[in-house]
Amino acid sequence: MSMLFEDRSRAESFGDLARSYDRARPSYPPALFDDLLADGARTVLDVGCGTGIAAALLAARGRDVLGVEVDDRMAALARAKGITVEVAAFESWDDRGRQFGLLTCGQAWHWIDPRAGAHKAAEVLSPGGRIGCFWNFGDLPAEVRDALKPVYRRLAPELETRSVVLGNLTSRFEVAERELTAAGRFENVELRSFPWSKAYTTAEWVEVVGTHSDHHALERRRLEALLDAIGSVIDSLGGSFEMAYRTTLVTATRR
């Protein structure tokens, strides 16, 4: 079975949506960064930094952050926030012998070869340094989820039971946990979870949905019809809702 990182057309499609992605994608709870920085790391490598959503939060806490991002359009927005970014695929990125106290990766480790990524992470982390790969998983309110099911069944049935935007669980964090353990260069491999929530209006949710690669990959007319129908559903339910999020963190310490 193929893994997501092998689908390069999806993995490298986010630059098409860079501004929308930066505006619409959810942030992360402060407790996540409290955890990641608890060991006192001062230097951070943010892998797959995208538009700098996580990197900017780390920099705001006084950390020296370097981003690595495969798409120069995403990198440009991160740089506009004051983040230094090198454009490269992490697996082949030239680290030039540099090492870091913390390596983070928000919403992106599944686009990286998890085996090669684990070994690369061990090379660029100082002994005792930490890696933290994290993802936001949302749980739509039952009434919203139930109202959207027939819309997806009619317009995008291939997404109904597997899209993460609909709350379908994925193996993303499980793969990361397994490969970090298998690399033999990390200890204290752990899974942690941070609950939080965010309110969305109709327009905000429609924009979020459109930034997900499985939706963006739809033929344009199908995507437009799907987004219009989603908007109508949210409007019919009052035009807003509260999304319960769980940020899942896979973390480990470099031996």
Give buried/exposed letters for 23-47 (b at 16+ CB in 10 A, else e): ebbbbbbeebbebbbeeebebbbbb
Q: Is 13 within 8 Å of 217 (Cβ atoms)?
A: yes
CA distances in angstroms from 230 to 155, 157, 216, listed in the order given: 10, 14, 15
CA distances in angstroms from 67 to 17, 41, 201, listed in the order given: 19, 16, 31
- What CA–CA distance (Å, rounded) separates 147 from 234? 9
Per-residue model confidence as pLDDT tens digits over 31-56: 999 999 999 999 999 999 999 999 99
Domain formed by 4-140+168-199+244-254, architecture: 3-Layer(aba) Sandwich (3.40)
- What CA–CA distance (Å, rounded) separates 91 from 231? 39
Q: How many residues does the chain have?
A: 255
Q: Which helix (H) or strand (E) holds 150?
A: helix 142-155
| Domain ranges (residues) in the chain | 4-140+168-199+244-254
Determine the pLDDT at residue 8: 57
Burial of 9 (0-12, 13-18, 19+ CB in 10 A): exposed
- What CA–CA distance (Å, rounded) separates 45 from 63? 10
- What CA–CA distance (Å, rounded) separates 24 from 50? 13
Strand blocks (E) in the chain: 43-47, 64-69, 84-87, 100-106, 125-139, 186-201, 240-254
Structure tokens at 132: 């933290």
Q: Give 161's DSSP letter.
A: T
Determine the pLDDT at residue 1: 45
| The dihedral formed by the CA atoms of 57, 62, 66 and 68, expressed in degrees to the nearest 10 | -10
- What CA–CA distance (Å, rounded) separates 69 from 48? 5
Q: What is the pLDDT along the chain (255 residues), one digit of tens a residue?
A: 456 565 556 656 677 899 999 999 999 999 999 999 999 999 999 999 999 999 999 999 999 999 999 999 999 999 999 999 999 999 999 999 999 999 999 999 999 999 999 999 999 999 999 999 999 999 999 999 999 999 999 999 999 988 999 988 778 899 999 999 999 999 999 999 999 999 999 999 999 999 999 999 999 999 999 999 999 999 999 999 999 999 999 999 999
Per-residue model confidence as pLDDT tens digits over 120-157: 999 999 999 999 999 999 999 999 999 999 999 999 99
Determine the pLDDT at residue 10: 64
Closest by CA to 136, choosing from 80, 198, 63, 64, is 198
- What is the SS3 assignment for 201? strand
The number of CA neighbours under 13 Å toward the Cβ of 205 is 28
